[in-house]
Chains A and B, each alone.
Chain A
Amino acid sequence: MTTKLLTVSPSPHVHGDFSTQRIMLDVAIALMPALLVSILYFGVGALKVVLVAVVACVLFEYLIQKFLLKVPVTITDGSALVSGLLLAFNVPSSIPTWMLILGALVTIGIAKMSFGGLGRNPFNPALVGRVFLLISFPVDMTNWPKPRLLDFSFVDAVSGATALGKLKEGVMMGETVDKLMMEIPSYIDLFVGNVNGSLGEMSAAALLIGAVYLLVRRVISIQIPMSFILSVVLLTGIFWLYDPSRYADPLFHILSGGLMLGAWFMATDMVTSPMSKIGMIIFGLGCGLLTVLIRLFGAYPEGVSFAILIMNAVVPLINRSCTPKRFGEVLK
């Protein structure tokens, strides 16, 4: 009789079919429709930006883990890939390559690795990268090429401001919203993505397809995007009703800028958002409130990135004050 050593370990002895890798893959899959739209409108330039951002993010993670931190390399978990994709989605397709690579270094090196890598970063890495670029290189980062459907020439497109940018500038000059609306894209264009903007915030429709996929796969839950978007609708609605000549209507606000991308893909980042459902709702409301304040009264035309980053900082507090109700607590 041969002796065979069996494993002895504590329960549970089975594990569900869930992994970090699968979650990251799902996020990447969900971003594909929006990527497709941006390639359709911005041509090969968009593809180049995405590839550079992804390769740079993964490479930086590899180099930092291998040579600087000397820890096991975890690039296969897919988180650097997702950070790269999201960074690319948050910049204009005309961004100079060196600038994008610098952004990737900030994204991975400063926002993620310096905190201890995956799961330990308090702020959304891609947003830190974007905001770093926005503050450092405001001209290049707000130089939005005009979309040209299915034009795959490599020539840089004519550039212009985003819909939100035009609106903000116009209102500051004293023009009315009605008049400005003539100059900015229609809601249909905003919905399908025929607008000036960063790569990924083009098409609300494409982002929604991805969002539905993530909801079905249960990678994200509805709380954050819902409370985020609804609070934007509510607040901008109040201002719009108060003075429609100075404030745009809620539909414009949810379709333009980075709201769809931010609400469905950036604010829902598991690492930097609250754990409990109630916490998620508070987080989403905070994001919505700050976005509207910045959009309507701040110096920048767009406030989604800043709003999410500020709310990221509050997450530990939210987590500690929104503990789940313990079973059996009612009778005590």
Chain B
Amino acid sequence: MSDLKTFPKGGVHPSDHKLSSQKKTLILPLPKVAKIPLSQHLGAPAVAVVKKGDQVKVGTLLAKSGGFISANIHSSVSGTVAMISEATDTSGYLKEMVVINVEGDEWEVNIDRSTDLKLEIVNTREEIIEIVKNAGIVGLGGATFPTHVKLMVPPGKKAQVLIINGVECEPYLTSDHRVMLERADEMLVGIKIIMKALNVEKAVIGIESNKPDAIEHLASKTKDYPGISVQPLKVMYPQGGEKQLIKAITGREVPNKGGLPIDVGVVVQNVGTALAVYEAVQKHKPLIERVITITGKSVKNPGNYLVRIGTPVIDLIEASGGLPEDSGKIISGGPMMGKALTSTEVPIVKGTSGILIMTDKEAKRIPQSNCIRCGKCVSVCPLGLEPYLLYQLSIKRKFDRLENEDVMNCCECGSCQFTCPASLPLLDYMRLGKLEVGKLIRSRKNN
């Protein structure tokens, strides 16, 4: 593996801590009550089509896509709709959810629950996009952008290469790693389906070199799938970021200020998404479950679980041996970009890639001191920004200056704050800056 690629500018090396990378995926038992949020994706919330008292099965449509950028929501359990009400989700805000009392495990009849690999792709491009749309599939890497929108290449643009994101650069998380090892064939057929939908001949799976087993496994498997290849990558955070991954693999830079991957002829999909596409197209199964890592230094049995959407986080924690005594913070996602949870009762959603439990000690921030102008934040920023400056401008509330300094390009990867010797809350203030500049931009558009 001498030809490891990576992106050229910025990046950091947080410690790996992939505690659960060798743990086979287990199936988490069904919850007693499932709370399924209507907004699990980027874009407009879905609109409920069931009401209190309705009987639902696994795969029953609960809510219809609420706009062009939105996604359908299906029931992940069978039972009775108890209510549709607001509850806290992973963001910490109240969101509308369909609450289902679970009874048995009855699936919609059209869903093929067999495990046989179905290789042959019979559907046309249009049919594939329609199926993906109906199945409510969103990007499972965490951004939860509706997948069917990405599959519809805008007129005048042409997709040349499909990149499959198997980077999993967040420390601790191993769910994508397990999917690549355990569900390789299904995932590869999924990739073929996406290639057909996009009308591209070439797909590249990007995997960091800290997952040699996945690289080896897929490199041998892809021999049977012409057009798909594996590209080993140097370990570097945030390589799982779409723009960094495209740069690493193709050398192309997605234009800033609103540019999209398709502008450089690329579409990126996560490995979990490819698996979900396979299940939807070949097995008629909507997105109702996903692989999730439960991990942390004090967690008794870190592992990977196939979890139904809507299962409370506490169920997953119990399965891993219970909440450790010294827990200080629970994070949905990885330690670099994940969200700290406000409750253990929040439901697992489509975008949950892992639950990380940090100890009391890890949960506390290091006290900040003066900026020593070392410039480390500038050198690690993968987007060529100057975090120290954006931080100061944001504190001084100079938002028009902030806009000129391209604060909106910030991807919130956290590399600057991770590396700051003075432990300054750089990203906190850059987020504030983005929020305020966003308001400025919107008010300008409205006038």
B280 CB to closest chain A CB, in angstroms?
31
Expressed in whole angstroms, the Cα–Cα distance for A294 and B198 within the complex equals 66
Expressed in whole angstroms, the Cα–Cα distance for A207 and B121 within the complex equals 68
Interface members, chain A 1-45 (any B CB < 8 Å): 4, 6-16, 18-20, 22-23
Q: Is the CB of B253 within 8 A of A12?
A: no
* Cβ-based interface call for A276 (8 A): yes
Given known contacts A275-B375, A328-B254, A328-B259, A12 and B409 CB-to-CB distance under 8 angstroms: no
Give the interface segment out of A114-122, A163-171, A194-202. A114-122
Expressed in whole angstroms, the Cα–Cα distance for A11 and B417 within the complex equals 9
Interface members, chain B 359-407 (any A CB < 8 Å): 362-366, 369-376, 378-379, 381-386, 388, 406
Residue of B417, B427, B431 most packed against chain A (CB within 10 A): B417
Name the one of B255, B338, B428 contacting A328, with C-beta atoms under 8 angstroms.
B255
Expressed in whole angstroms, the Cα–Cα distance for A4 and B326 within the complex equals 10
Give the interface segment out of A49-57, A134-142, A145-153, A319-327. A319-327
Q: Is the CB of A11 within 8 A of B257?
A: no
Q: Is the CB of B256 within 8 A of A7?
A: no
Expressed in whole angstroms, the Cα–Cα distance for A83 and B273 within the complex equals 55
* Cβ-based interface call for A317 (8 A): no
* Residues on the B chain within 8 Å of A275, using CB: 373, 375, 378, 386, 388
* Residues on the A chain within 8 Å of B421, using CB: 18-20, 22-23
Q: Is the CB of A329 within 8 A of B339?
A: no
Q: Is the CB of B340 within 8 A of A4?
A: no
Name the one of A11, A22, A327 contacting B337, with C-beta atoms under 8 angstroms.
A11
* Cβ-based interface call for B329 (8 A): yes
Interface members, chain B 287-338 (any A CB < 8 Å): 327-331, 333, 335-338
Q: Is the CB of B369 within 8 A of A20?
A: yes
* Cβ-based interface call for A70 (8 A): no
* Residues on the A chain within 8 Å of B340, using CB: 6-11, 13
Given known contacts A74-B369, A270-B373, A328-B254, A13 and B384 CB-to-CB distance under 8 angstroms: no
* Residues on the B chain within 8 Å of A10, using CB: 340, 427-428, 431
Q: Is the CB of A11 within 8 A of B336?
A: yes
Nearest CB in chain B to that of A5: its residue: B328
Q: Is the CB of A327 within 8 A of B378?
A: no
Expressed in whole angstroms, the Cα–Cα distance for A329 and B418 within the complex equals 25
Q: Is the CB of B388 within 8 A of A6?
A: no
B-side interface mostly:
loop
* Residues on the B chain within 8 Å of A117, using CB: 370
Nearest CB in chain B to that of A116: its residue: B370
Q: How many residues of B contact A (CB 8 A)?
A: 68
* Cβ-based interface call for A68 (8 A): no
Name the one of A271, A325, A327 contacting B243, with C-beta atoms under 8 angstroms.
A327
Q: Is the CB of B366 within 8 A of A328?
A: no
* Residues on the B chain within 8 Å of A19, using CB: 366, 421, 423
Residue of A12, A19, A23, A326 most packed against chain B (CB within 10 A): A12
Name the one of A8, A11, A79, A271 contacting B92, with C-beta atoms under 8 angstroms.
A8
Name the one of B9, B171, B263, B333 contacting A14, with C-beta atoms under 8 angstroms.
B171
* Cβ-based interface call for B80 (8 A): no
* Cβ-based interface call for B209 (8 A): no
Size class of A's contact patch? 35 or more
* Cβ-based interface call for B265 (8 A): no
Expressed in whole angstroms, the Cα–Cα distance for A22 and B369 within the complex equals 13
Q: Is the CB of A119 within 8 A of B386?
A: no
Expressed in whole angstroms, the Cα–Cα distance for A328 and B385 within the complex equals 11
* Cβ-based interface call for B341 (8 A): yes
* Residues on the B chain within 8 Å of A326, using CB: 256, 383-385, 406, 409
Given known contacts A7-B328, A12-B337, A12-B417, A118 and B369 CB-to-CB distance under 8 angstroms: yes
* Residues on the A chain within 8 Å of B336, using CB: 11-14
* Residues on the B chain within 8 Å of A274, using CB: 375
* Cβ-based interface call for A331 (8 A): yes
Nearest CB in chain B to that of A325: its residue: B384
* Cβ-based interface call for B30 (8 A): no
Q: Is the CB of A324 within 8 A of B385?
A: yes
Given known contacts A6-B330, A8-B329, A18 and B376 CB-to-CB distance under 8 angstroms: yes
Expressed in whole angstroms, the Cα–Cα distance for A274 and B374 within the complex equals 9
* Residues on the A chain within 8 Å of B388, using CB: 275
Q: Is the CB of B385 within 8 A of A7?
A: no
Expressed in whole angstroms, the Cα–Cα distance for A330 and B376 within the complex equals 24
Q: Is the CB of A329 within 8 A of B384?
A: yes
Interface members, chain B 177-201 (any A CB < 8 Å): none
5 contacts between A and B (CB under 8 A): A11-B333, A11-B336, A119-B372, A275-B388, A328-B255
Residues of A within 8 A of B (CB): 4, 6-16, 18-20, 22-23, 74, 77, 79, 117-120, 270-272, 274-277, 323-332
